[in-house]
Amino acid sequence: MTAQSEGIVIVPEGAIADLIDADASFEAVESVFAAMSRGDAYNFPVIREAIGHEDALYGFKGGFDKSGMALGLKAGGYWPNNLEKRGLINHQSTVFLFDPDTGKVKAMVGGNLLTALRTAASSSVSIKHLAREDSKVLGMIGAGHQATFQLRTALKHRNFEKVIGWNYHPDMLPNIEKIATEAGLPFEAVDLPGMVEADVIISITSAFSASLMADHVSPGTHIAAMGTDTKGKQEVDAALVAKATVFTDEIAQSISIGEAQHAIADGSITESDIAEIGAVINGTHKGRTSADEITLFDGTGVGLQDLAVAAKVVDLAVEKGVAQRVDF
């Protein structure tokens, strides 16, 4: 990005959809995961606080990618009452980018759609690198805002023939059925034991106790556990995490705020049992080694993903001549 001498670039939330798509987000996220594993990019410790107002969780995720020269943070979080009370989505966030040479702020970018795109990109990177090539049935646990993005992007990465879904609130299942139908695939609502039919399972809920148990999953399945991004949250039983080969975006987050926190706490796995997905992308970890292995990607969501997609958006806005600049 070359805009620092010309003021801050502002890309409002409403402009993002016309600038970046699922494919560009996938490339940005895959590349920053690889940079993390090479040691070229690192995340700062996450701040995430229950603010005692509107049941909101608010915080900051930041980092520095030396290879992409992206420095900054995403500020925001999760307001569970937004949709019902105000017709707003529950996630609200903004990304700020800074010039790594001077510390001057460079850009302010709407982070809501970007969060959904970079999170969907993350599970899809795991599917590309860890799911069996012959995967046919995609299982969805969750049917909220993120789930629709997760499903739409995942369908690009294997030749899925069917989507099955379970949600704690069954009335929300039409949200994901619609995406499957748009893609020309049959959709079936199942109970949790019905997930044994799935070759790939994406879990993206705000649950604080496990839904997916070891006997709900067949050998050879790839699980992308995407909802657990805070201490105390849980979607997958610790016994299933212990049974799987575990990969993550960042090990420090996986063991503290990710799905692996519970298996770590009960001692059934240790930190050394978890590998970075970036190592698989870079070819320094072999990834899946057999058709029977259960692989689990603990997608905790790192600040560098947000910076990667936001930097891409700013570049695209400048390139297309639609960047709004403000003196600062």
314 vs 48, 60, 104, 172, CA distance in Å? Answer: 26, 20, 16, 34
Asked about 231 being catalytic, the answer comes back as: no
Q: Exactly one of 61, 74, 106, 243 is catalytic; which is it?
A: 74
Beta strands per DSSP E along 215-278: 222-225, 234-236, 245-248, 274-276
Contact 109, 95 (CB under 8 A): yes
User: Residue 280 and residue 269: Cα distance in Å, rounded?
Assistant: 20
Sort 327 into a burial class: Cβ within 10 Å, 0-12 / 13-18 / 19+: exposed
Q: How far is the CB of 5 from ligand NAD (least distance, A)?
A: 34
CB of 55 to ligand NAD, least distance (A): 12
Residues that bind ligand NAD (CB under 6 A): 78, 90-91, 115, 119, 142-147, 167-169, 172, 204-207, 211, 226-227, 229, 299-301
Nearer to ligand NAD, 269 or 302 (CB): 302
CA count, 13 A, side-chain hemisphere, 175: 19
Whichever of 236 and 313 has its CB closer to ligand NAD, that residue is 236
Whole-number Å distance between alpha carbons of 274 and 202:
19
Of 8 and 212, which CB lies nearer to ligand NAD in the complex structure? 212
- CB of 8 or CB of 237, closer to ligand NAD: 237
Q: Tell me the β-bridge partners of 43.
A: 63
> Among residues 9 and 274, whose Cβ is nearest to ligand NAD?
274
**Which residue's beta carbon is nearest to the bound ligand NAD?**
144
Distance of closest approach, residue 236 Cβ to ligand NAD, in angstroms: 12
Q: How far is the CB of 299 from ligand NAD (least distance, A)?
A: 5
Known catalytic residues are 74
